[in-house]
Structure 1
Amino acid sequence: MRKTMITAIIALLIVVSFSGCNLSFLNLNPTPFFPTPNYTMTALFSVDEIQATNPPLEFPFNTEEPLLPTVQPTSAVTEAPTQALPTITVYSTVIPPTKTSLPPIATNTAVTVRGGTWVTGKYMKTPPVIDSIWDEWDATKYPAKYVVYGTSQWEDSDDLEGSFAVSWNETYLYLAVKVLDEKYVQNATGEDIYKGDSIEILFDTNLYGDLSVISLSSDDFQIGISPGKGGVDDEKEVYLWYPSGKAGRINDAIVASSKNDGIYRVEVAIPWKVFNITPASGQQYGFGLSVSDNDDSSENVQQSMVSNLRNRKLVDPTTWTVLTLSK
């Protein structure tokens, strides 16, 4: 009996001894290497944990607050261009001075280049017969009716008025002129032919080269035509006044004239070589045609002059009009 109790006590001591020791090789539930999931990766992927650490009211509140101000600048930016459009009117105030700058706007219009009615010279494949008869002339007729000199001496259109046409080919510049004049008087010659019934031509061979120059230059020509000294059946003459260095009679010009019932007609062919020009369709030149009158057979004097140029000034080519050669 005693031996049995001793054996039981020893067994009890052994059990107590094993339960109190922390022997790693006997522990059936070892401590894991990673921390408890509640404090590591599980917390990162847990919806409950995120909602707990971030107050739910902050997300909608913070989202709405910044959106309101950002919407306002956006609408302001899109409206800004429409509000800025009226500033285009600032440029419109610059346009009028540009329009008044004539030389840069030399666009071949009668308003911006030279005044008056522009003249077109039509090409004649078959040269006209210079006989003062206009049968073969298929060209526009232009008036020369503006009284530019001797207004007090001019009575009416029967006293002095003119009309003309211009044509050309590779050799000549052709002119056909009709003049209403009750009394034909021409007794002068040479540089004085303007002191009798006569025709004057102004011709600028370098129109766009000196468009705004208000004085004569070496490319400007003044030519006079006498239908006949003493009468239209008598000796005709074509005289070059300007350039003065080339002044003199143009001997190879051709003139024919006739008179009937207070009207005299003239046809003239002037060689292009006089102007040192090789003509071509589309070329433009400064141009003017005027008619001088003298009704006093006892004196060589220019009493009046009519022209196709309303404001004709001999020494100011900007008062001349434009001749365009065409085919």
Structure 2
Amino acid sequence: MDQVKPLQSWWTGPDDLSALLRFQWDDDYLYLAAQVIDDVHFQPSVGGSTWLGDSIQIAFAVDGRFAYELTLARTADGDQVYAHRALQGETGLWDDVRFATRRIGQSCFYEAAIPWSRLAPLRPEQGQAIRMNFIVNDNDGAGRLGYLEARPGIGEQKRADECYDWPLHGPRRNRPEPPTPD
């Protein structure tokens, strides 16, 4: 229950909102695969406001700073990755991220391949840890209700010191097919 924010009263249990996220990597991409169980999928926004609807936010810390923050969302205009913060490069829509979602029943599946070149100076190296954090936002149609967080550091404050050290174990050997929208 500590992961339910800002107030626990909006969350009725795992069928209301829960998530399983997995990450892999190779020399070119950081891969994300997620299953978000949500009784109501609602994403009224596009672009920079997608964090207000059902979405996943991912943050990366570099050299002790909150360096990158991305929102991945299934919108009425299609699947979008929006960079709210970028240490290097541009903020805004990142069209070069391979990203697709599909909704089946109460589950929304997210697949993304984020180029390491977008996350410079982060570079993949076996045994290295990258500092990363994420939250899953919930909006059932009456505004953003709250979010589930891996740990604090994105939803209420942008804090690099709250990011996890995610160790990079052996790289993915078989390059996956690019995500395709349904």
Q: What is the aligned partner in structure 2 of residue 259 from structure 1?
A: 103
Does residue 287 (structure 1) correspond to residue 144 (structure 2)? The answer is: no
Distance 2:2 2:56 in 1: 13
- Local SS of the residue matching 2:108: strand
- Which of the pair has the greater relative contact order for Cα pairs under 8 Å at 6+ separation? 2
Instruction: Assess if the C-alpha contact under 8 Å between 1:293 and 1:303 holds in 2.
Output: yes
Tell me the CA shift for residue 253 of structure 1.
Answer: 0.3
Distance 2:19 2:113 in 1: 18
Distance 2:80 2:57 in 1: 12
- Local SS of the residue matching 1:303: strand
User: Counterparts of 1:66-81 in structure 2 under 5 Å?
Assistant: none
Instruction: Assess if the C-alpha contact under 8 Å between 1:259 and 1:265 holds in 2.
Output: yes
Q: What is the aligned partner in structure 2 of residue 238 from structure 1?
A: 81
Q: Tell me: CA distance 1:145–1:224, structure 2 relative to 1, closer, same or farther (3 Å).
A: farther
Q: Deviations over 1:279-326 (max 9, x none)?
A: 111121111121001001xx5x321100221x3454222222111111
Q: Deviations over 1:113-156 (max 9, x none)?
A: xxxxxxxxxxxxxxxxxxxxxxxxxxxxxxx9811324332222
Distance 2:168 2:70 in 1: 19
Structure 2 alignment gaps of length 5 or more: 171-182
Does residue 178 (structure 1) correspond to residue 28 (structure 2)? The answer is: no
Regions of 4+ moved over 6 Å: none
Q: Deviations over 1:51-89 (max 9, x none)?
A: xxxxxxxxxxxxxxxxxxxxxxxxxxxxxxxxxxxxxxx
Aligned residue identity for 1:304: G
Does residue 319 (structure 1) correspond to residue 162 (structure 2)? The answer is: yes
Q: Tell me: CA distance 1:323–1:237, structure 2 relative to 1, closer, same or farther (3 Å).
A: same
Does residue 250 (structure 1) correspond to residue 107 (structure 2)? The answer is: no
Tell me the CA shift for residue 172 of structure 1.
Answer: 0.6
Q: Tell me: CA distance 1:161–1:321, structure 2 relative to 1, closer, same or farther (3 Å).
A: same
User: Counterparts of 1:6-45 in structure 2 under 5 Å?
Assistant: none
Aligned residue identity for 1:324: P
1:220 aligned residue (43, 67, 74): 67
Q: Tell me: CA distance 1:191–1:325, structure 2 relative to 1, closer, same or farther (3 Å).
A: same
Does residue 165 (structure 1) correspond to residue 7 (structure 2)? The answer is: no
Tell me the CA shift for residue 171 of structure 1.
Answer: 0.7
Instruction: Assess if the C-alpha contact under 8 Å between 1:148 and 1:305 holds in 2.
Output: yes
Distance 1:237 1:157 in 2: 25
Q: What is the aligned partner in structure 2 of residue 229 from structure 1?
A: 75
User: Counterparts of 1:86-235 in structure 2 under 5 Å?
Assistant: 146-206=3-63, 210=64, 217=65, 220-226=67-73, 228-230=74-76, 235=78
1:306 aligned residue (148, 151, 155): 148
- Local SS of the residue matching 2:75: coil
Q: Which structure has the larger Rg?
A: 1
Distance 2:2 2:139 in 1: 16
Aligned residue identity for 2:130: Y
Instruction: Assess if the C-alpha contact under 8 Å between 1:223 and 1:241 holds in 2.
Output: yes
- Local SS of the residue matching 1:246: coil
Instruction: Assess if the C-alpha contact under 8 Å between 1:145 and 1:161 holds in 2.
Output: no
Q: What is the aligned partner in structure 2 of residue 82 from structure 1?
A: none
TM-score normalised by L of structure 1: 0.47
Return the structure number with greater strand share: 2
**Aligned-residue CA RMSD (Å):** 2.1
